[in-house]
Amino acid sequence: MSDNITAIHPSWEIIHGDALKVLREFAPNTFDAVITDPPYASGGRTQAEKNKSTDKKYSSMGESAPPPFDGDSKDQRSWTRWAAEWLYDARKVCKPGAPVCMFIDWRQLPAATDALQWAGWIWRGTAVWDKGNSRPQKGRFRQQAEYIVWGSNGDMPISRPVPCLPGVFKYGNPQNRIHLTEKPLQLMRDVVKITEPGGHILDPFAGSGSTVLAAVLEGYSATGIEVTDAYAALSRERIERELAQGA
Amino acid sequence: MSDNITAIHPSWEIIHGDALKVLREFAPNTFDAVITDPPYASGGRTQAEKNKSTDKKYSSMGESAPPPFDGDSKDQRSWTRWAAEWLYDARKVCKPGAPVCMFIDWRQLPAATDALQWAGWIWRGTAVWDKGNSRPQKGRFRQQAEYIVWGSNGDMPISRPVPCLPGVFKYGNPQNRIHLTEKPLQLMRDVVKITEPGGHILDPFAGSGSTVLAAVLEGYSATGIEVTDAYAALSRERIERELAQGA
DNA sequence: AAGCTAGTTGAATCCCTCG
DNA sequence: TCGAGGGATTCAACTAGCT
């Protein structure tokens, strides 16, 4: 399938398959960047459940020293392990110095920085996507931002031909989303610019294909991996359609 | 000293002393919120960088540099433990449901969320302070934001008489700062509004006193603790001066 | 328009170890 | 005792958009 797609579109492909399996089939030094929006919580508890269990757990703590780690993190722990696995495999097929960008929400951000570093990437910072339009909550701060945890595969020379990039991006959520977590295209066009010009970008969780589309629009080549058959097909159609419109 | 100050200013005081010691002298249920900006100790990766005193670390600011401040030179392990300790002690003197807000930078954010939860607070989210200007980094995302890790002492009823608050605050750094890490006053005026009207706010790391000043300006009472003699005095002068100007 | 940036980089230097 | 090598540390140059 990927050969066929590659033949038609030399600069991009969407591979249908599981990220962990597909990643191991690439050769080392294949990619210049990893830019992706992984599933945020494979266990998927609600915030209320998390708060309740946390509350119960720590109300019994009394005067003694705090426990070493949050006990309601069983789901989070397995998420972290899983993330470390694919981050490791992704790093292994990247060139030295390649940047990595991972979208994440506030709750998984600490787990994401752990996983990134466990996988051998150097964590270099956190950029912010200000969504602007989240639902207000009385008596609370709005959760109106998502985060881009980013780093590099070893040293990242300041001499790379890449300009300075902003640290906060403000874009509203797109209308008519194909995928539930689809990011604004302009946001992705901004973020992929962390890659060296003309580089080959990997997105192991392609979803609706925004990263791949943005990469091609900005002059990069890109490989997306998507496990859900329907999204792999939908994203291919979307990218072809939007590239045809733009051309 | 605090008695004297309290007598003159019924709604605020700055106590000169170490946070861990002073916190243990308050009675339970004294405070309605903790809002603070602790030392980040986010200096470099090497031991020596962490051991640097703040005046050396920020020597590039020249003669106009503010006096050094205490507590910015811990490694990440001891910083996390230390933060969990004062967060725990602070929670013990707060009312049930009291909110906590802790400023932190990107590097220490995972450690801060750990410490907050170890201390028994429920972590409820992360708000963003967009500083707007920061050092640009060629080929990198700017580190242009600091974070406000926030939570509550147990359940936090939605019925509290507090409106919805933004999740991203954009304010430039103030001019003519007393303290190296002084926050914009308007930012602090926005953040203290997480407290119930008329409540008593605690800031264990008062620094230049922005939290206390903002709290009083917004109709709260406030207690600040500051370990550095010079800043305890400077902040008292500043708050008196600015309150007199405003009145 | 000038001045700022809770900094970062890489090269030079220093120091200690080992053959 | 010397020199090579590696790790630790210091230092000055630097960056570009925002206020």
What pLDDT, in 10s, does the model give residues A197-208?
Answer: 999 999 999 999
Average pLDDT over residues A9-16: 89
Model confidence pLDDT, tens digit, residues B84-100: 999 999 999 999 999 99
Average pLDDT, chain A: 85
Say whether the CB atom of A166 is under 7 angstroms from strand D: yes
Instruction: Provide the pLDDT for residue A134.
Output: 82
Say whether the CB atom of B159 is under 7 angstroms from strand D: no
d(CA B28, CA B133): 41
Instruction: Provide the pLDDT for residue A81.
Output: 95
pTM of the model: 0.90
Instruction: Provide the pLDDT for residue B247.
Output: 64
A79-91 residues labelled b (16+ CB within 10 A) or e (exposed): bbebbbbbbbbbb
d(CA B209, CA B207): 5
Query: In this complex, which protein residues place their C-beta within 7 A of any atom belonging to strand C?
Result: A 124-125, 155-159; B 37-40, 42, 44, 60-61, 72, 103, 105, 131, 133-137, 140, 143, 146, 173, 177, 180-181
d(CA A82, CA A76): 10
Confidence of residue A57 (pLDDT cuts 50, 70, 90): very low
Average pLDDT along chain B, 247 residues, taken 10 residues at a time: 50 98 98 97 50 40 56 81 97 98 96 97 97 89 96 97 96 89 96 98 97 97 97 96 86
Average pLDDT over residues A25-54: 73
CB contact under 8 Å between A158 and B142, yes or no, is no
Instruction: Provide the pLDDT for residue B9.
Output: 55
Provide the terminal-to-terminal Cα distance of chain A, rounded to the nearest Å: 25
Which nucleotide lies at the shortest CA–C1' distance from B51?
D9
Instruction: Give the SS3 label for residue B157.
Output: coil
B98 vs A contacts (CB less than 8 Å) = none
B199 vs A contacts (CB less than 8 Å) = none
CA dihedral of A163, A220, A88, A3, whole degrees rounded to 10:
-170
Instruction: Provide the pLDDT for residue A74.
Output: 59
Instruction: Provide the pLDDT for residue A89.
Output: 98
Phi/psi zone of residue A125: left (φ > 0), alpha (ψ -120 to 50 degrees), beta?
left
Share of residues in chain A with pLDDT > 90 (%): 71
Residue with tokens 């147990």: B154
d(CA B136, CA B139): 9
Instruction: Provide the pLDDT for residue A133.
Output: 79
Give the distance, in angstroms, between the CA of residue B43 and the centroid of all CA atoms in the same chain.
18
d(CA B100, CA B194): 9
Instruction: Provide the pLDDT for residue B72.
Output: 74
Residues 6 or more apart in contact with residue B220 via CB below 8 angstroms: B11, B32, B192, B195, B197, B198, B199, B200, B201
